[in-house]
Chains A and B, each alone.
Chain A
């Protein structure tokens, strides 16, 4: 057999208690692909049942996959797996960041880092090829992520990529992130690095990422095919947002916003996005003017360009020129995307004073807030943090729970008057160490502390999905039962765009239903929006496929905000995408010829590994009742309307129980409890996992 490529073959294990550093063979985990797959297995195997997130016994696995660093489009992700401090059971979760870190880790020669133990004093980890050392971080403790990064770049050189925690992580806040390359942040595990006193990891290396021998031209051909015929725009929207001479369809909700007269207005000179016809690979990066999508129409003139992750042609991060930020002691530049802009905006619960130009204060707030959140290393829990703030404010909870001195010290006038300066006050108070900062505990622990009540959990607008304490993320509004089933499986927000991007691709529903029929066996897998039909087995197949591709992408690694390529912008292809692309790239990256079916099986293995870890950590097999719960608001929306009536996303209780049964059936999990069976675990090559669960009396 030819050399296996794609993986470097080395995992780095760093024990912060003993200072011991060693490498291990990656290949014992290769059936779990990489990233999250590695993380789930390693945590399952090595972290004892009953361990809490901030315990010394917890470990953090930072890992990438065989596509990381290869040029595969949208492969710039890094996966971080550990116990989740926001979860009531401290059950497993993975967080993810883009940027350069993952590729740089590969260049240093590693598929992942296992961090274990905890240091007694602040340290940072320096990785330069084979030279690994644990360095003193006393001078870095207390710094924001930007200053930390700069200080380490001064030592390692300007090319090194640094992942760091900010004050939120140092203070072991549950909602803390790990940040690399300014604003690429992974939410939820920053506090664990804080508990281990690990401030940052700097990495650079000279090892190339190899693809299969003799396959360079095949690789370039596959890249060309994807870039010309398959890839769409942000979130794989495959039609333009406005009518275009070249386009058969358009859809105003599409993020393919490029058009004549739309610019990156602060570029010097301005760059017109223009018409970016399907097939033109040299304009893929111009297709999405994301600033106007995230920040509103005023953002066009402030847009320097679109940024994004290493290797990604879909540029989803807007880089902004914002001189207004200098008033707050920041530079006139800001960058981020999606939730990191919307989360600060949502914290302005009284709206904006909006003086000279409507929308300008919102723009300033979003840019200011995103900069502060990234520098402090604060995670918004997919936008739940500001909703928790709103709930506590509107319910009068702050007056009840904050000590009077603390309450009086907060400049509430800023939020009352709609002043963007509230961002400085809000984020500053979150990390100041007072009671207000318990907002960073996350919903479950916040409720335990502040006794928030049933309405907090059950109101539609508060968006909380389950007692696992995370918010909905493309749930019943996205494919009805399909989105709901995707949302029940995780221990954090579902973070799955597999289903959403196909549903929202922008194509007419008739075409999407045809594609659904080809991929999941029947057009009935997909309903027209707001016109949902009862559960059927094809929706269960769609839900499972969505989950599996999400788990695969977090392992291989690819960006699930864009992948999979279920549809394409190509009229010549009748808008059909290519769902075998992951397998094709994997085959060329590793030299292991792998079919789509084999790739699907690997994905199913990772999904089930996640499930098994969850069963172990929750110490129950009754996942249906203890874990896979659906919030009341899903069933109680539109009180005067019955489920399956056109115009509502309201679901039916019995129908969703059937949905769970059909999903479990697709996975071969126990239909009564939703726990993996021995037969299924063994079918997936996870006999040792079955043995461990049996020893713990956790097999159904």
Chain B
């Protein structure tokens, strides 16, 4: 099982790398198994018994694998701030392409049981939410102006501001409401895979593991990219 998971994962990466060179098709995020994450030094725990697996998310992006480890997130919200300085020359969590402030206090949902649930008013856990760069991007599909398209170089779904009318259909269509209309510009903002959030994460809760490093890890363990 373990071997199979890793082989599958390598196959996906290999395919994606080739795709990056030659094709304009989608580069969807992949689910990365616990065994693979452990291999790469991420601290994903094995779920035991009926316990739910802790939420760890990983996404294949052009520069490497973007891994989100909530157990390391301290809620400093610097990922959001650096995101908006880098992309908007100003600061506000609302327009950040990585989202944490909105689930800082009470998690993703606010319930009467908040003192026991995620968030600073509960168990202190908060999850940085990132754009999945979906293969079948609902944001792009929903846009009435075709303002969201995939960038040829980065393969990120990107908003063309000259076309965007700020209607918010992208945000509504996204299952995680990741795109956001900037109230000051009236234009939608979404992740373009610039990597500033992970680059500035103070604990490595958001990290991009570069392909070169991953390749080296797999080779060291006896796996090979074809």
Contact = CB atoms under 8 A, between A and B. Distances in A.
Interface string A97-120: 000100000010000000000000
Contact of A331 (B71, B72, B86, B116): B116
Contact of B200 (A146, A150, A213, A281): A281
- Grouping DSSP codes into helix (H, G, I), strand (E, B) and loop, the B interface class, with mixed when no group exceeds half, is loop
Contacts of A268: 45, 54, 71
Interface string B127-162: 000000000000000000000000000000000000
B69 to A, nearest CB: 8
B44 A282 contact: no
A209 interface: yes
A313 B200 CA distance: 10
B175 to A, nearest CB: 19
Given A268-B54, A268-B71, A315-B76, A333 B122 contact: yes
Contacts of B54: 268-269
A182 interface: yes
A134 B37 CA distance: 51
A123 interface: no
A269 B89 contact: no
A403 B53 CA distance: 58
A601 to B, nearest CB: 28
A182 B84 CA distance: 26
Contacts of B183: 206-207
A153 interface: yes
Interface string B84-112: 11101111111100000111111000100
B7 to A, nearest CB: 25
Interface stretch (B8-16, B201-209, B213-221): B201-209
A479 B147 CA distance: 62
Contacts of B92: 107, 206-209
A309 B77 CA distance: 9
B106 A304 contact: no
B86 A216 contact: yes
Given A269-B54, A333-B124, A283 B203 contact: yes
Contact of B110 (A158, A211, A319): A158
B204 A269 contact: no
A69 interface: yes
B71 A282 contact: no
A570 interface: no
Contacts of A213: 89
Given A71-B82, A208-B90, A269-B45, A304 B110 contact: no
A319 B120 CA distance: 9
Contacts of B116: 331
A310 interface: yes
A223 B45 CA distance: 33
Given A159-B105, A206-B92, A271-B43, A313 B78 contact: yes
A271 B72 contact: yes
Contacts of B106: 153, 158
B115 interface: yes
A174 B72 CA distance: 39
A305 B72 CA distance: 7
B120 A307 contact: yes
A311 interface: yes
Contacts of A315: 74, 76, 202
B167 to A, nearest CB: 17
Contacts of B125: 304
Nearest to B114: A150
Contact of B85 (A207, A219, A227, A271): A219
B147 to A, nearest CB: 21
B101 A307 contact: no
Nearest to A206: B183
B81 interface: yes
Contacts of A310: 76-77
A70 B84 CA distance: 10
Contacts of B71: 264, 267-269, 271, 305
B202 A284 contact: yes
A150 B77 CA distance: 21
B121 interface: yes
A282 B202 CA distance: 4
Contact of A181 (B78, B105, B196, B199): B105
Interface string B58-81: 000000000000011111111001
A331 B115 contact: yes
Contact of B91 (A69, A154, A269): A69
6 contacts: A153-B106, A209-B92, A219-B85, A268-B45, A271-B203, A305-B72
Interface of B: 43-45, 54, 71-78, 81-82, 84-86, 88-95, 101-106, 110, 114-116, 120-125, 182-184, 196, 199-204, 207
Closest 3 CB pairs of A and B: A285-B202, A269-B45, A71-B81
